[in-house]
């Protein structure tokens, strides 16, 4: 990746980058983010570092790893990037998963026609377990907004998020 950009956005990627590649990711962000630029990392995460669920690792997302907030900051800090905001929208994601579950169940016959019963049951279990994990707080959905250290090109409040644009 080359060039200079006003924004760096990562949605659903960090879980698949691998901890061993966090340094390279931080270097890439540092190399391409403009001096006034901002970034966003949107990732499934958890409250503390730990191993991935073995069943999900084997059946659903081989190699995936949901990071903790401290691991996310390990990407940003060496590159001189400052965290501006962190939001945890895990309950929103639990609701999204509920909608996916409903659609999955509505289309169960179609899915079974495309895949074998083992696949069908694994994804049903994965969706149900994920709903439970996000509802109970076992998994998080972090949105981390950052910019360069010392950059003051940012809003003073969150009013812009809620329609109070002036």
Per-residue pLDDT band at 162 (split at 50, 70, 90): confident
Consecutive H or E run containing 66: none
In a domain, 51, yes or no: yes
CATH code for position 29: 3.40.50.150
Residue 47 counted as domain residue: yes
Domain that residue 59 falls in: 5-149
Q: Give the DSSP letter of residue 157.
A: S
Domain count, the chain: 1
What pLDDT digit, counting tens, does each position of 29-83 carry?
999 999 999 999 999 999 999 988 899 999 999 999 999 999 999 999 999 999 9
> CA–CA separation, 105 vs 93, rounded Å?
18
| CA dihedral sign of residues 120, 124, 127, 133 | negative
């Amino acid at each position: 990746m080359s060039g200079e950009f006003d924004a760096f956005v990562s949605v659903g990627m960090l879980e698949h980058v691998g901890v061993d590649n966090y340094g390279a990711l931080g270097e890439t962000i540092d190399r391409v983010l403009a001096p006034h630029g901002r970034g966003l990392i949107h990732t499934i995460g958890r409250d503390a570092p730990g191993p991935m669920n073995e069943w999900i690792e084997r059946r659903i997302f081989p190699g995936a790893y949901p990071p903790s907030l401290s691991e996310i900051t390990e990407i940003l800090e060496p590159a001189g990037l400052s965290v501006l905001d962190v939001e945890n929208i895990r309950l929103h994601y639990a609701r999204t998963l509920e909608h996916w579950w409903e659609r999955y169940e509505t289309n169960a016959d179609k899915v079974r026609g495309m895949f074998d019963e083992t696949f069908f049951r694994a994804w049903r279990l994965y969706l149900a377990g994920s709903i439970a994990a996000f509802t109970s707080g076992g998994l998080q959905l972090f949105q981390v907004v950052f910019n360069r250290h010392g950059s003051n090109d940012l809003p003073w409040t969150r009013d812009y998020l809620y329609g109070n644009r002036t």
